[in-house]
């Protein structure tokens, strides 16, 4: 059996079955509701923690010593509720994709999340015994620490709610009742069942394990996952699987981000908290692999870092098709949109281009990881430029000139790696074009 037959008959069906899984689709699309909050909140955080003493001293002299308070207020109101937004968005999307009333699923997921979350905090006064303060929703669990629990609850509630609707286990209202009222009554039975289930879970964890489910998930699942993602192995896995899925024509960035965004966002939120406290360094537990690491470095200029391939097309291509494709792909590639190059080369299902496409991001990712781990570059803070921000500019915004220089180096290295593979593809295309011209000449 040939390689192509093996891919088509064995690998492709397995990949497609995974990416079309309802939970993955809901996770991928539902977590996008947090994107505007991340971007806006990170801008306010950047201003409040501006990397220039001269600028911050100027603001202090003009607006007073508490000038950062309003900025941190917006930053906290956006970046510190990521888990709440995620749990609503995922359940909402799951139900919507299944053709059911989605808002009721989202609200149900929010209530389940709150039931399984501690409703107290410990207050430690300077002079006195620490005391437990109740009737609160701790912001820690509403943000980064609650992300994995939010993903699990969002998908679970979405699936259970859809099951009840598909089995028609709901309160039905007579025809003519307004749809809003009918939808509200339809949600009562599934919501009641899930609230009771969540309360049982709360009782088990509270009285059996002296904790809550969300705290347990954070300790047993999220913390190890954050540690795994924040490692060379995590870098290689993320950097490889994005182009690997693209090779089969599946939007690898969407699928991997759907799975990893919760973990990577938690890493970013941890760093944002350290940045706010003025202790953003590895010694205080800062993470290396964050959402910006993936968006603006591993996937710089698009999945596979294909701008190097575009540059090869622009400057050394002999074939007319690649010369033209390079011109058409340059502008989108600078804004990290590389579908033209993926399908125009093509890279999808192309064994020749698969090697650099899969290995360039991994190689550059490991190098960038090493630069931060060794202390040459500082860890990234909470600023999250939009994924469409052009390279070099995004590096400058995230970490100043040193990060921009790192991106330039990574782009140059990627171009060098793509070069021999492109030469082979270009020579084949050029030979085909010559043969076509000669055939036209004979026919003439």
Distance CA 150, CA 90 (A): 9
Q: What does the DSSP assignment read for 342-360?
A: HHHTT-TT-HHHHHHHHHH
- DSSP assignment of 9-60, as one string? IIIHHHHHHHHT-HHHHHHHHHGGGGHHHHHHHHHHHHHHT-S-HHHHHHHH
Start-to-end CA distance of the chain, whole Å, equals: 42
User: Which pLDDT score, from 0 to 100, does residue 18 have?
Assistant: 65
Q: Is 362 helix (H, G, I), strand (E, B) or coil?
A: helix
Residues in the chain with pLDDT values less than 50 = 1, 443-444
pLDDT at 258: 75
Tell me the helix, strand and coil percentages in the chain, rounded to 5.
75, 0, 25
pLDDT tens-digit readout, 48-64: 888 778 888 899 999 99
Q: How far is Cα 443 from Cα 181, in angstroms, rounded to an integer?
A: 74
- For 67-111, how does the pLDDT look when each residue is reduced to its tens digit (9 = 90+)? 999 999 999 899 899 999 999 999 999 999 999 999 999 999 999
What is the radius of gyration, based on Cα positions, of the chain? 25
**At 288, is the secondary structure helix, strand, or coil?**
coil
Average pLDDT, the chain: 89
Tens-place pLDDT, residues 240-257:
999 988 887 777 887 788
Bridge partners of residue 121, in order along the sequence: 133
Which residue, chain included where needed, has tokens 């977590």?
Answer: 31
pTM of the model: 0.80
CA distances (Å), origin 104, targets 26, 110, 126, 180, 322: 15, 10, 44, 10, 51
pLDDT at 391: 94
Q: Which residue has the tokens 């182009």?
A: 243
What is the distance, to the nearest Å, from the Cα of residue 281 to the centroid of all Cα atoms in its chain? 23
For residues 35, 41, 43, 49, the Cα torsion angle rounded to the nearest 10 degrees is -140
Per-residue pLDDT at 174 = 85
- Tell me: the pLDDT tens digits for 205-215? 999 999 999 99
pLDDT at 10: 62
Where exactly are the structural domains of the chain?
A: 21-229, 294-443
CA 380/CA 383 separation, integer angstroms: 8
Helix (H, G, I), strand (E, B) or coil at 95: helix
């Amino acid at each position: 059996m040939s390689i192509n037959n093996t891919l088509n008959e064995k690998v492709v069906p397995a990949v497609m079955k995974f990416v079309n899984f309802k939970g993955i689709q809901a996770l991928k699309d539902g977590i996008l509701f947090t994107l505007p909050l991340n971007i806006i909140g990170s801008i306010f955080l950047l201003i409040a923690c501006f990397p220039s003493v001269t600028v911050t001293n100027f603001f202090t002299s003009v607006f007073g010593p508490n000038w950062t308070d309003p900025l941190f207020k917006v930053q906290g109101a956006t970046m510190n509720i990521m888990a709440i937004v995620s749990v609503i968005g995922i359940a909402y999307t799951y139900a919507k994709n299944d053709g059911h009333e989605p808002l009721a699923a989202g609200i149900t997921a929010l209530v389940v999340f709150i039931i399984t979350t501690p409703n107290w905090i410990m207050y430690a006064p300077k002079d006195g015994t620490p005391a437990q303060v109740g009737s609160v929703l701790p912001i820690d669990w509403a943000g980064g620490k609650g992300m994995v629990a939010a993903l699990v609850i969002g998908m679970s509630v979405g699936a259970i709610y859809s099951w009840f609707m598909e089995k028609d286990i709901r309160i039905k209202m007579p025809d003519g009742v307004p749809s809003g009222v009918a939808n509200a009554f339809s949600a009562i039975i599934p919501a009641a069942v899930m609230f009771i289930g969540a309360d049982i879970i709360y009782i088990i964890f509270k009285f059996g394990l002296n904790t809550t489910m969300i705290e347990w998930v954070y300790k047993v699942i999220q913390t190890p996952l954050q540690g795994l993602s924040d490692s060379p192995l995590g870098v290689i896995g993320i950097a490889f699987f994005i182009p690997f899925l693209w090779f089969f024509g599946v939007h690898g960035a969407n699928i991997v981000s759907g799975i990893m965004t919760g973990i990577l966002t938690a890493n970013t939120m941890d760093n944002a908290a350290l940045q706010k406290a003025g202790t953003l360094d590895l010694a205080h537990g800062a993470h290396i692999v964050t959402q910006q690491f993936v968006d603006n470095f591993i996937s710089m200029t698009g999945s596979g870092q294909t701008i190097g391939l575009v540059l090869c097309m622009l400057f050394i291509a002999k074939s007319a098709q690649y010369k033209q494709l390079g011109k058409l792909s340059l502008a989108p590639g600078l804004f990290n949109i590389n579908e033209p190059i993926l399908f125009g080369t093509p890279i999808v299902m192309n064994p020749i281009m698969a090697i650099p496409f899969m290995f360039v991001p991994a190689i550059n990712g490991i190098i960038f990881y090493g630069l931060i781990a060794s202390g040459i570059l500082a860890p990234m803070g909470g600023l999250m430029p939009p994924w469409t921000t052009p390279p070099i500019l995004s590096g400058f915004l995230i970490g100043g000139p040193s990060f921009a220089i790192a991106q330039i180096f990574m782009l140059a290295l990627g171009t060098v790696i793509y070069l021999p593979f492109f030469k082979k593809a270009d020579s084949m295309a050029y030979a085909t074009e010559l043969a076509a011209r000669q055939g036209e000449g004979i026919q003439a």
